[in-house]
Amino acid sequence: MLLSIESSCDDSSIALTEIESRRLVLHKKISQEAEHARYGGVVPELASRLHAVDLPRLLESARPYFNDIKAVAVTNEPGLAVTLNEGVMMAKAFAAFQKLPLVPVHHLKGHIYSLFIEKPTRLPMIVILVSGGHTMILRVKGLEDMEILATSLDDSVGESYDKVAKMMGLGYPGGPIIEALAREGDENRFELPVPLRNSPLIAFSLSGLKNAVRLVIQELGGPEGMSEQDRRDLAASFQKALIAHLIQKSRKLLAKEAIPDVALVGGASANLAIRGAVEALCAQYGKRIHTAPLEFCSDNAAMIGRYGLDALAAGLTVAPEDLRVNPSRKLKAGMKL
């Protein structure tokens, strides 16, 4: 079996995947959302301390399988340095003690491989990745052949949902809250700008939309002055503009890409309104749409393990003493993952 570990942000998770069959034998996850909610977002130092407690507890649940583990896969980039270190140090200690190879995993590659949990790998694909930290479109031809076609110039989709929820005086994480409010709101009440609507640039930018929401909140008297209907309508109007932006820029790429398979992955891909819009876009261009099960959209060790299987088969392993954490790297169009 392959042991996999994920700790790039605020979710502690481990998984065991059978190497030969790709069967997910064990998957455990502890979310820190409740602890961070009181601060309105993730506090890195708090997240690190929680990982230090939760990861060993999760690993203990895999003890009956320790003798069957043949390799360890762990997220080592990108993410918060203090949280990545918790998972990497545990992986290095376990691998060194058991004399096992380590598979370093890029977190975003893990999201792509969430499509293939307990399934064969199916590539090439055009991948639309929308998460708390990233918004991008990639052309994925193989395990080590992933090119970024478009990325965000500022805020990601997930980050924008969280910030809008915070400005409205709502809880954390903001994505599910805004999505739920939007279902009951009038998306046409507030005319919000669609970012880069008249720009030929194929990229994503949500800081201007977020600022437009802030101005509306001020006009309504701030979070305290807003009625429940105000919140519903503003959530719906914000989501409408965001999706219009996401689809407009995605359309420009899909129109010229010959690859027939398109995937939507990342934590924000669990948003059903976003899913529906991307599905409609794919239908328009005759593309086959692929999504991960909802339980594997957010950060999890099962997706890290699934990428780890293919990386292990390709010999992409390192010795424990050679594994390093790479917390951040500016990702731009034209770059390879």
Structure tokens at 160: 């924008």
* CATH class for the domain made up of 125-291: alpha beta
Q: Are 234 and 216 in contact (CB under 8 A)?
A: yes
Residue 330 is predicted with a pLDDT of: 81
Residue 130 among known ligand-binding residues: yes
DSSP 3-state of 31 = strand
Residue 175 among known ligand-binding residues: yes
Q: What are 222-254's pLDDT values in tens digits?
A: 999 999 999 999 999 999 999 999 999 999 999
Residue 160 is predicted with a pLDDT of: 97
Q: What are 19-59's pLDDT values in tens digits?
A: 999 999 999 999 999 999 999 899 999 999 999 999 999 99
d(CA 10, CA 8): 7
The residue written with tokens 């969430």 in the block is 114
Q: What are 298-323's pLDDT values in tens digits?
A: 999 999 999 999 999 999 999 999 99
Residue 93 is predicted with a pLDDT of: 97
Residue 131 among known ligand-binding residues: yes
> Residues in the chain, how many?
337
Number of CB atoms found within 10 A of residue 310's CB: 19
Identity of the amino acid at 163? K
Residue 179 among known ligand-binding residues: yes
89-99 mean pLDDT: 97
Task: Name which residue leads in pLDDT, 148 or 132.
Answer: 148
Band of residue 328 on the pLDDT scale cut at 50, 70, 90: confident
The residue written with tokens 């639309």 in the block is 128
Residue 267 among known ligand-binding residues: no
Q: What are phi and psi of 53, to 5 degrees?
A: -85, -45
Structure tokens at 109: 């590659």
**What are 265's strand-pairing partners?**
129
Residue 31 among known ligand-binding residues: no
Are 2-117+298-322 and 125-291 equal in CATH topology?
yes
d(CA 247, CA 242): 9
Any idea where the domains of the chain sit in the sequence? 2-117+298-322, 125-291
Residue 152 is predicted with a pLDDT of: 96
DSSP 171-205: -SSHHHHHHHHHTTS-TTSS-PPPTTTT-----B-
Residues whose CB is less than 8 angstroms from the CB of residue 63 and which lie 6 or more positions away in sequence, other chains included: none
Residue 46 among known ligand-binding residues: no
Residue 219 among known ligand-binding residues: no
Residue 322 among known ligand-binding residues: no
Structure tokens at 231: 């919140």
d(CA 327, CA 76): 7
Residue 145 among known ligand-binding residues: no
Average pLDDT, rounded, for the chain = 96
Q: What are 154-206's pLDDT values in tens digits?
A: 999 999 999 999 999 998 999 999 999 999 999 999 999 999 999 999 999 99
Is residue 329 predicted with pLDDT exceeding 80? no
Q: Where are the alpha helices (DSSP H) in the chain?
A: 33-37, 44-61, 81-98, 107-113, 157-167, 174-182, 207-219, 222-225, 228-254, 272-284, 301-313
Percent of the chain that is helix, strand, coil (3-state, to 5) = 45, 20, 35
**CATH classification number, 2-117+298-322, choose in 3.40.50.1360, 3.40.47.10, 3.30.420.40, 2.40.50.100:** 3.30.420.40
Is residue 86 predicted with pLDDT exceeding 80? yes
DSSP 3-state of 293 = coil
228-254 and 207-219 helices cross at what angle (nearest 10)?
160
